[in-house]
Structure 1
Amino acid sequence: MSKLLVIADVKGDGIATPRGLELANKLGLNAEVYAFVYAPLSRLKVTAAEKAAIKKRLLAEREAEVGSRISKFSRDDQKVKLKVLWEKDVADWVSKKCSKSNYQMVVKTGSQTESFAHASTDWQLLRECPAPVVIVAEKKWRRTHLVMAALDLGSRLPAKKKLNADILRRAIELADAMSANLEIISAVEVPTLLDDLDLIDTHSYVEDAKEDMAPHVRALSKQFAIPEKNFVVKRGPVEKVIASQAAGRRAQIVVMGTVGRKGVKAKLIGNTAERVLTHLKTDILALKP
């Protein structure tokens, strides 16, 4: 059976574990929960045996804590594997694990902080993890049943068109599993410089873009048996359009694509998924091309 990897929360209410177990159950996946512990013990003025005892104690406490959470939120017939690891670089470990084993997705609670000098685990996973990544929001809207797919309907690049199809497949799978409705959102971003200099007619630019998107919408509508009325196109920066539409429709999860970048460029110019995360207040499933 296919499987899902959950990164247990280090602290707080442990949103990733119950949300991950719920997703695994609804999608019919086995769940593997990995909890990480690390503390710099090298500077402690104790013997090697005492350091080993401290490490063993920390691992045992973490296992008990996460195990209790799993017992509380898993179903009686649900297969859940728990592993507690002494590891400092969580993102790197998870990325390597996913490159060696086939996971349908990785689930992690989102963190909205990052500095130039140190990329957070969220950003590292979005850029480097070979498996799709679900970043879950600690607080999100309740009592709504909507899955939202964010597509780039303006691109005619084969890779982007394939990614659009992959996003829709995942979104449909989630909507079916969650007994939710499906809506597709796409943005028409007007070039700010040209608009500021009055070099284009904004209304005409947007209408022309929507007209260019129409054949793509019709093709996807036919391919996936989705009513064309479920496709929504709005003007504005991609991240703001997606976040605004998700908030207005109270989407439970947004499925979208991301292009992983590495190095300084990634820290200076975050990809679309990273920018959306700073605005979005619900779960997001990010897929790579």
Structure 2
Amino acid sequence: MGQYQRLLLIADPDMRHYAALQRAVALAQASGAALHIAMFVQPLAVFDDNFQELPREGQLEKRRLWLQTETAELTAKGIQVTIEVVWNEHPLEEVLVHVAQLQPDLLLKDAQRESALKRVFITPLDWHLLRECPVPVHLLSAAGHPLPRKVLAAVDSASPETQIPGLNDQIIQAATALALQCDAELHLLNTYDLSPAIFWDGAAGAAAWSADFAGELRNSLHLAFNTLADRYGVPSERRHFVMGPAINTIAEFALKIQADVLVMGTVQRHGLSTLLGSTTEYVLYQAPCNILAVKPPAATDAV
């Protein structure tokens, strides 16, 4: 039996992005999963001049025909695929309704890249899905290979009191499922920060560095990381323990090993943290590869 039973693809209404469709078809074919393709058309999101003058039903029919053309050969290949095109002014709500009804193992979507200013004041659907969607979200900006060849899981071995319970396990399990299904290499990455070893030296009137504490901190984090990797049988040559700020270090390392998919955790955020965004959301705009974002167990149980 494959790692996935049901896949949900959110297709772009402008019909110009193909990475998510390519990946969804490849995963469905490899796993035997049923693939449902949903396209949500917003009245103000119709940018194609050929469609703007059409009445609503005409715009929907054009997109149905496009999806039918794109998926025509899939049934002949044994893939169970269904399509729908919906006129909707609130795509996030509609996506979440579909997730609740279909119970997919994975949601796939082409990634939207917005300017920093627009991201602050007009949060794109991608950001909302990272925060709200209870199932793993696979955002794709490019699909160099139909199926990934290298999957990189980014975990955090910080002390338990600062961790989100079960999130590391969810990340590794999602990454493992994808790697197994695609016969891809699974790599495990832990970035760490030794800034707690910096303290204020009143006598010197400047910041000072405690080498002993830094060493103890690093060893503690490394031990926790190896314990986690041991639990999932990750070979030593695919364990990567790297010092540096999380956002830049994760993106740079993904580029270094030429990862196809970066698997990270995300949580629902409110207030100021919503404005600032999470590590996963910022990495989305810097990572040189596609993103698979997962929620901790408490969030997934709510599906």
| Residue type at the aligned position of 2:287 | L
| Residue type at the aligned position of 2:9 | V
Note if 1:185 corresponds to 2:193.
Answer: no
Paired residues, number: 275
Match of 1:222 in 2: 230
Note if 1:270 corresponds to 2:271.
Answer: no
TM-score normalised by the chain length of structure 1? 0.85
Match of 1:123 in 2: 127
Note if 1:247 corresponds to 2:264.
Answer: no
Cα deviation, residue 189, structure 1: 2.2
Cα deviation, residue 27, structure 1: 3.4
Note if 1:281 corresponds to 2:288.
Answer: yes
Note if 1:89 corresponds to 2:96.
Answer: no
- Aligned-residue RMSD, C-alpha: 2.8
Asked if structure 2 preserves the Cα contact closer than 8 Å seen for 1:147 and 1:251, the reply is yes
Cα separation, 2, equivalents of 1:227 and 1:82: 41
Asked if structure 2 preserves the Cα contact closer than 8 Å seen for 1:188 and 1:209, the reply is no
In structure 2, the CA distance between the partners of 1:82 and 1:211, relative to structure 1 (3 Å rule), is same
- Structure 2 unaligned blocks of 5 or more: 45-53, 201-205, 297-303
Cα deviation, residue 264, structure 1: 5.2
Match of 1:44 in 2: none
In structure 2, the CA distance between the partners of 1:142 and 1:37, relative to structure 1 (3 Å rule), is closer
In structure 2, the CA distance between the partners of 1:141 and 1:97, relative to structure 1 (3 Å rule), is closer
Match of 1:62 in 2: 63
SS of the residue corresponding to residue 266 of structure 1 reads helix
Match of 2:9 in 1: 6
SS of the residue corresponding to residue 89 of structure 2 reads coil
Cα separation, 2, equivalents of 1:206 and 1:193: 5
Cα separation, 2, equivalents of 1:20 and 1:141: 12
Cα deviation, residue 2, structure 1: 2.6
TM-score normalised by the chain length of structure 2? 0.81
SS of the residue corresponding to residue 134 of structure 1 reads strand
Cα separation, 1, equivalents of 2:182 and 2:133: 25
1:148 to 129, 142, 152: 152
- Answer with 271-280 or 17-26: which moved more: 17-26
Percent identity at matched positions? 24
Cα deviation, residue 159, structure 1: 5.9
Match of 2:268 in 1: 260
Cα separation, 1, equivalents of 2:189 and 2:32: 27
SS of the residue corresponding to residue 210 of structure 1 reads helix
